Structure 1
Amino acid sequence: MITEMDEILELCDRVIVLTLDVNTCRQRREARTDYVPPDTPGYFEHVAFPAYLRHLNRALIRSRTDARFTFIDVSEPRYSDRNESIIDYRTQILNDHIKITDTRLDLETIMKLAADSSCGAISTFCGVTRDNHDGRGVASLSYDAHDLMAYKKLRKICARIREQHPDIRKIVIFHRVGEVKVGESSVIICTSSPHRKSAIHATEMCIDLLKEEVPIFKYEEYTDGEEKGKWKSNEEDKKEKNVAEQLNL
């Protein structure tokens, strides 16, 4: 794939990777008649799709340090309409900026992605590692993600936000993976709109849905040295916090 050709990538300002689930990929391949020679039985399962997954995995790994990569899942039936697909691609590429990265998050850079000349409001949320949890000192947090599934979920979250808040112009979601030390940002979300209320509500909706639905996992490293932390999904972490709030802990 082109994403593995360094001499070609050097010429690219953006790299858009369209992803497919196995069933959609099979259907589209079987609909084509221009393969020479034509696929033999078992070729898709044992050669074509495994090769696609290898290339995709390399692109996902590279994207954690390369800001040019954008992933868009095109498995849904609506993408069979070419005209509708082009309009949707344009919105996602230009207006929804989503990134899972192992580099430090820069608020100024992210806010620039949310800026739009028609907007008078940019609402921003920064999730920062604090130095305590349930009365214990925290040395650092570490995050990991199922990148492909996370990108799919985050794209759907952007679509839901736009359905509920149609005047939102830009949505930017950056989540860091790897170690995030105390005081550093693990997630930054920005939304922009002509007026403040939509942007504020959209940003709140976005972080709530991210916590509930996106497969990102957190590990807490404590300072007391008595016990290691454990990997928890966003959903598990939110449930624990809800229980603590109900018990007034």
Structure 2
Amino acid sequence: MAEISQVSLNHSESLKISFAPLCVEEVYQLADSPENGAVVVMSGTVRNQTEGKPVKYLEYQAYEPMAINIFRLICDRIYDQWQDTKTIVIHHRIGKLAIGDISVLVAVGCPHRGEAFEACRYAIDTLKHNAPIWKKEHFADGATSWVSIGACEEFAHKQKL
């Protein structure tokens, strides 16, 4: 399982792919800082249906080294675009997940709420389109379907994300 935590003078981040359950409280604490006036947390959970078709559970797989690389690039772009950003946390779970389990947590801490919301939305949207993470949906009728969370779109359009 891949995990990177970095702290510098101006900001910190925690990037992780794990089989273990994800914890909102832990991610919030990692994103919290006395310099932040806002911490925005986005929690993605396994829902019980896809397009009206009942889902039993999901399985997630990732190409971990590249996924962490994409997470790192997302952080770099956030620090460039929202320069007051202090903390970023991106944690994704892999393996078998039940209905209601958390599959992904993204948290961004900034001095102001507007930047925190925008940066958090950018992080999750960019992750979903670019990280090499796949889910296999297991439906109640026994059917399965692989869904690409990210197509790696030529390594995130040559790392411009």
1:232 aligns with 2:154: no
Please tell me the residue identity of whatever aligns with 1:96.
Answer: E
What CA distance in whole angstroms lies between the structure 1 residues aligned with 2:150 and 2:92? Answer: 16
Between Structure 1 and Structure 2, the one with more strand by share is 2
What CA distance in whole angstroms lies between the structure 2 residues aligned with 1:214 and 1:91? Answer: 25
Task: Give 2:81's match in structure 1, choosing from 136, 140, 164.
Answer: 164
Partner of 1:96: 13
What CA distance in whole angstroms lies between the structure 2 residues aligned with 1:100 and 1:187? Answer: 9
Partner of 1:154: 71
Please tell me the residue identity of whatever aligns with 2:145.
Answer: K
Give the secondary structure class of the aligned counterpart of 1:230.
strand
1:209 aligns with 2:143: no
> What is the TM-score when the length of structure 2 is the normalising length?
0.87
What CA distance in whole angstroms lies between the structure 2 residues aligned with 1:70 and 1:161? Answer: 17
Q: Which has the higher contact order (CA 8 A, sep 6+)?
A: 2
Partner of 1:70: 4
Between Structure 1 and Structure 2, the one with more helix by share is 1
1:189 aligns with 2:123: no
How far did residue 90 of structure 1 move?
4.5
Describe the superposition over 1:192-241 as per-residue Cα deviations: whole angstroms up to 9, x where unpaired. 0111000000000000100111000110000122x2x12221136xxxxx
Unaligned runs of 5+ in 2: 152-161
What CA distance in whole angstroms lies between the structure 2 residues aligned with 1:90 and 1:188? Answer: 19
On the 8 A contact 2:7/2:13 being kept in 1, the answer is no
Please tell me the residue identity of whatever aligns with 2:52.
Answer: G
| Percentage of pairs with the same residue | 33
Describe the superposition over 1:140-199 as per-residue Cα deviations: whole angstroms up to 9, x where unpaired. 111010000111111011000111100110000000000111011000000001110000
Stretches of 4+ aligned residues off by more than 2 angstroms: 89-92
1:126 aligns with 2:60: no
Partner of 1:84: none
Describe the superposition over 1:50-71 as per-residue Cα deviations: whole angstroms up to 9, x where unpaired. xxxxxxxxxxxxx36xxxx428
What CA distance in whole angstroms lies between the structure 2 residues aligned with 1:235 and 1:178? Answer: 17
Partner of 1:60: none
> What is the TM-score when the length of structure 1 is the normalising length?
0.57
What CA distance in whole angstroms lies between the structure 2 residues aligned with 1:205 and 1:199? Answer: 10
What CA distance in whole angstroms lies between the structure 2 residues aligned with 1:140 and 1:91? Answer: 39
What CA distance in whole angstroms lies between the structure 2 residues aligned with 1:90 and 1:142? Answer: 32
